[in-house]
Chain A
Amino acid sequence: MTAPAFVPYLLHTLFPPNTHRPTEIGADVMMGLGMGYLVYWLTRHRKWGWLWRDWLTTVDHKKIGTMYLIAAILMLFRGGVDALMMRVNLAMPHAPFIGPEEYNEVFTTHGVIMIFFMAMPFIFALFNAVIPLMIGARDVAFPRLNAVSFWLFAFAAALFNLAFVVGGAPNVGWTAYPPLTELHFNPGVGTNYLLVSLLISGIGTTITGINFLVTVLRMRAPGMTLMRMPMFAWAALNTSVLILFAFPPLTVALLMTLLDRLAHTAFFTLSHGGMPMMYVNLFWLFGHPEVYIVALPAYGVFSEVVPTFSGKRLFGYTSMVVSMAAIMVLSYGVWAHHFFTMGAGAAVNAFFGISTMLIAIPTGVKIFNWIFTMWGGRIRFTTAMLYVMGFIPTFTIGGATGMFLATVPADYQVHNSYFLVAHFHNVLIGGTVFGLLAGMYYWWPKMFGYRLDERQGKLAFWLFLIGFWITFGPQYLLGFKGMPRRMWTYPAGHGWHLLNVISTAGAFVMGAGFLVLVYNVLWSMRHGERDASGDPWNGRTLEWSLPSPAPEYNFARIPTVSSLDAWWAMKQTGQGRGRGAAALRLRPQDIHAIELPRNTGYPFFLGAAFFVLGFGLVFSWWVIALLGLAGVWAALAYAWFDHDQHKHMRADEIRRIEASMGRLPA
């Protein structure tokens, strides 16, 4: 191709019409300004070295957790803006705010971002921030792989978000059912972005699953048997198993779609014997366990928050463990309930309907156990506890509408209607998001050394809860009025308008809740109450035995555990009554030198190389893809040949640090 023809071609490919609409340009400008300011700030304060040494190359699980949290909140913002754009459009169908092209992109990115780039990293943020601290470990099993997971996720998220600036966003829905995703129906690169970025982040997620599975199985403090583990550690264990078994079918489904698009294979085509139904099966074989991948950690958070703020041991610990495992196992046997109406036949539908209903049993057990943990306790209504109080009724209603959908003939009527939309937001917001926010408020002092302001936090909670019900209550009714999901606009005459207007108003209330949340974080960074004791809530598990934030090595001396709620027991019994340092009774001679993982830059480069590889694949620019692949190999080879992976911390250095935190007599 000659140079003058090449340039317009390049411009057209990189910046097709759907990347220069007002909203896109506005977002570009905002992102540009944000990045520009970041670069300016880093340069002005000479922070580049700090950024590289302390963050980009870190293998410390606590810092990785912080980075996951920042990413998750940024993505919550992006996904939330998408949601508001949709809601505005549906509130004014006669003078639409955005057209169908943009609406279809927005509902797709909303789904993908909220599930894969908001909920997942938020969960990993909490896992990273507290799981090693809870089980008395100095780090995760594979600290470097932990960094690899993060950077694969981060670069995949960057690639996905690049789509609406360069090349055009995907517009096929987060489920991406073929044959709509085939080239014939969907030319352009948007769908490639979706497939490639999910494949890359899927690798990172799988590694995280392996990492936390091995961490929880093999790195617990002496004496902490499985049945003495905190419930959140159980949640991490079950979630990791789910990840291990759920992501392979997704990988295969996405790979097949990508091959259809890039290599013209015939998996899901209309011609040559392609079979779109195969994708649907593989996708939901992943998709349903994924629901529990994001729900079980929330259950884990609630099982920590309720006992702490009730000042009472978790009710029915054993049945909590068993029911969580039961949910984990059952979740693999229900995937076909996502497509009762695809003609599988009465026998299959009846089987999957009942298996779905069975999940209500362990879930019911958990709900009652939480309530009876409060029963006879002394309940302190902190922000984290309020999220539990909001969660229980909200999630019960979400579960009840789930039973409704599991009733096969009823599902025939409400499948893919707004009833369904309301249901899964009911469980995903009422369950997962409330759980993650509760966890964030609960562990924030441990992560950063200060509390989030409670009054602002409670305001944000009430805005979220009330906004949630104003948004999604009417959507159930829209389902009964026969409104299908994913319509960018609708005609008059079905009585859909008023309910949509109410729903949109609710969405803005939730948006206000998000703003209060962000303000809460920013305000508390400056004015938040410092947590000097390390145990601000009178906690029960080992992470509260450490100073806030925990030092790099976590435990100067690995504790020995003799019961459930190890820290609570230490505070009650002979190891010394009292909070914080007093209960630990650390002596200088207990402290030895510690071997810690050394920082490394290869995970960052590996992520960057995958980004280049992915970008090349998206545009079918094979040279760029090969360059990226070479970079991946280079990073892997570097990792393989790097045998110097540890650094040592001397005992006197640790004693000095502990003394400076008041944990040792100086």
Chain B
Amino acid sequence: MTVLIETIGLTKHYQAGEGVVAALKDVSLSITPGNFVAAMGPSGSGKSTFLNLIGCLDSATHGSYRLMNEDVAALSHDRLADLRSRRLGFVFQSFNLLPRADALANVELPLIYRGMPRRQRRERAAEALAAVGLADRMHHRPTQLSGGQQQRVAIARAIVGSPDLILADEPTGALDTRTGLSIMALFQALNQGGVGILMVTHDPDVARYAERVLRFRDGRLIADETQIPANVAKALEALPEADDAA
């Protein structure tokens, strides 16, 4: 079986004042394509550092990281940017949409950096928005959308380049329970379509929907468990009362 991600002894040190902080210590693991992985742990446990390293936003102090069999440590800034644009999609807790651009333009953004012609770009962005259920909101600006809709736009932006892996940093952290669940439902649906997901969360209720959970503490990977993901649809039904759906 092919391996999407492989880390060996991945370690990250930060210079903090006089001392050196070891944010991540000796993490070795591999993730197969299409895996839905949740990284858990309290703040300062190293899970975000791990996400940044996997996302090619940061480089490791020691250890190796291979993405699709490519040694990331050896790559230039430009090649890392290319790798991010072709292989990865990012989803953030605070959505990070451009406030003055409409949903379509926000989703289009990654394709600009892949040199795609405008017309093709807009078609593809529209498809991505349709895939997250926002076909009728393409020309709304972020301020005209609810939190859940904004996160959907962000997810559309993450999948528009058909990445191998979506990196999600607390994707439900800014949303209420019901809306959070609908986002998890979307992730599960995307995952069933074949996209790998690495999601950082501190919330065990959210981690339930992944098929694998990594637990971090003090920079170390302390547990790596496979589980049967919980069914989001049932959880949604079980919610006491239906607020306005996102």
Partners in one complex: no
Q: Which residues of A contact B (CB under 8 A)?
A: none
